Amino acid sequence: MDSALCDLPVWGMICDLPVWKRITIGGTSSDSCRSAPLQENIRIVRWSADVLNNVAVSPEPVELDLVIVPLGFLGFSRSVRYGEVCTIGAGFDFELCPEDTVLGLLQEVYKDQPEGQLHIASKGILDSDGDECIFVIIFDKEGLALHVTHGNPDRFLSPDSQLVFVKDKRVLSGKVSVN
């Protein structure tokens, strides 16, 4: 991204988004990753458990800087397709999260979880019916819960949605695309 663009109002807000979480993913067994949410009393919705079983765990540890990006920051004031959000996010140097990002997030006990819903921006992960899904972490009066929603590029997100992206795409070994 051209650093001069950071001087523009909307682009400047995007460039200044702070890192929300620095997590390490991968390098552990998939079984230990999947059992962590249960140990932390995180509610796992049944459909989420199905998709969680299909998450590929990175073989080597990778450190990720994650940011929370409200769709309004990307300039959306109406419902928008998930694929379009991911394309625009890439223009701001945000990268899609690897599949096992949700496992890294759930392994942490974090007290600064924002209230509401956080969509983990990633390539769609197939459920047992072959539908593409993305994870949604919900924090409400009942505590933390892991849900999934349709993750195909044509799915619409409301303008008040918040997505978690990787801020610095250089930490990933390769590009991930939703197309």
- The per-residue pLDDT for 15 is 60
- The per-residue pLDDT for 35 is 59
> How many domains would you assign to the chain?
1
- The per-residue pLDDT for 61 is 87
- The per-residue pLDDT for 36 is 56
- The per-residue pLDDT for 34 is 56
Grouped pLDDT means (10 residues each) for the chain, 179 residues: 40 66 76 56 81 84 89 85 90 87 71 78 91 89 86 90 80 41
Residue 174 lies in a domain: no
Residue 177 lies in a domain: no
- The per-residue pLDDT for 173 is 40
Residue 135 lies in a domain: yes
Residue 65 lies in a domain: yes
- The per-residue pLDDT for 97 is 92
- Domain of 76 in residue numbering reads as 3-169
Residue 178 lies in a domain: no
Strands (DSSP E) along 10-167, which ranges? 21-25, 43-44, 62-70, 80-81, 116-120, 125-126, 132-140, 143-150, 156-157, 162-166
Residue 176 lies in a domain: no
Residue 21 lies in a domain: yes
